[in-house]
Amino acid sequence: MTSKTIAFAPAPTRENWRERTSAGRIAAKLLADGWAMAGLTIVVVFLAMAVLAPVLAPYEPTSSFIELRLRGVFTPGHLFGVDTQGRDVLSRVIYGSRVSMVTGLVPVALSAILAIPLGLVAAHFSKSGAAIMRVMDVLFAFPMVLLAILLASILGPGMGNLIAALVIVLLPFNTRVVYVEALGQKNAGYVDAARTLGTPTHRILFREMLPHVASSSIVYSLTIVGTIIVTAAGLSFLGLGVQPPTADWGLMTSEGRSVLYLAPHVASIPGLAIFTLVVGFNLLGDGLREALDPRSRGRS
């Protein structure tokens, strides 16, 4: 008789465990992506600024120093100057980050929560799916900005109505992303196996297929946050979003356009804040998309 040697695989170490797990691979790719880390840093800074606004802001956002009206940057006690009503621009920019974070993240999250079940149902049931996707096609017929303006005009100004309008605007885009991904998973082997075992439809959709389609929705949602922040600021700029005296970057930019030549800091500083935060979210979203791309994983 010949003896056989049985080889045992070495136990996973702390280092190779992180590489073997999906979450570890994604984290490793993000950490290796300098642009993604730059975007994450920008987002974290603005998020911390929004959370710690009462601590960081030197004044209340509505406090007025009318005697210093339209003073420029580096005015003693007012680093970013003073606006048309004598309010500290730095304080309003810091408090305005709260509004931008809410109007950017909340509509995206709500639209994803609604779009995932809609996309799954539309992909699994042909008749219901046709009805759902035809409604989404109607919404697709309108350019995003024009649809947002129309809905905001119908619903009226205010934070709640602004968020509702942005959720409706985002819904067809996110639903389409989930629908396409779910169609690709509909006849996958694990789904056929679940059907063979008599698994109920709702369990197939929301337990078996959901993890496979959710990542696409999450990645898309992160890449669209910057666009939604700009759209929300634009609606406030037009008077259809957040209303005075709330500190909002779009509203601040609108108020500063009348004194653009006399005191450019009033409009340019909140505009620069919008630009920086949008760039941060776009860099982070692009990095996450690359990290979740299967072709990118295969090259590593």
Radius of gyration of the chain from its Cα atoms, rounded to whole angstroms: 24
pLDDT for 277 equals 95
Task: Please give the domain boundaries of the chain with CATH numbers for all domains.
Answer: 23-299 (1.10.3720.10)
Tell me the pLDDT tens digit for each residue of 61-72: 999 999 999 998
Going by C-alpha positions, the residue among 24, 1, 26, 3 that lies closest to residue 14 is: 24
Q: Residue 23 has what pLDDT? A: 63
pLDDT at 24: 67
What integer pLDDT is reported at residue 20 of this predicted model? 41
> Quick one: pLDDT at residue 293?
60
Q: What is the pLDDT of residue 87?
A: 94
Residues of the chain with confidence (pLDDT) below 50: 1-21, 295-300
Query: 226-261 pLDDT, tens per residue?
Result: 999 999 999 999 999 899 889 999 999 999 998 989
The model's pTM is 0.83
Alpha helices in the chain (DSSP H): 14-20, 22-32, 34-51, 53-56, 89-124, 126-140, 144-155, 159-185, 189-196, 201-203, 210-237, 249-256, 265-292, 294-299
Cα(300)–Cα(30) distance, integer angstroms: 13
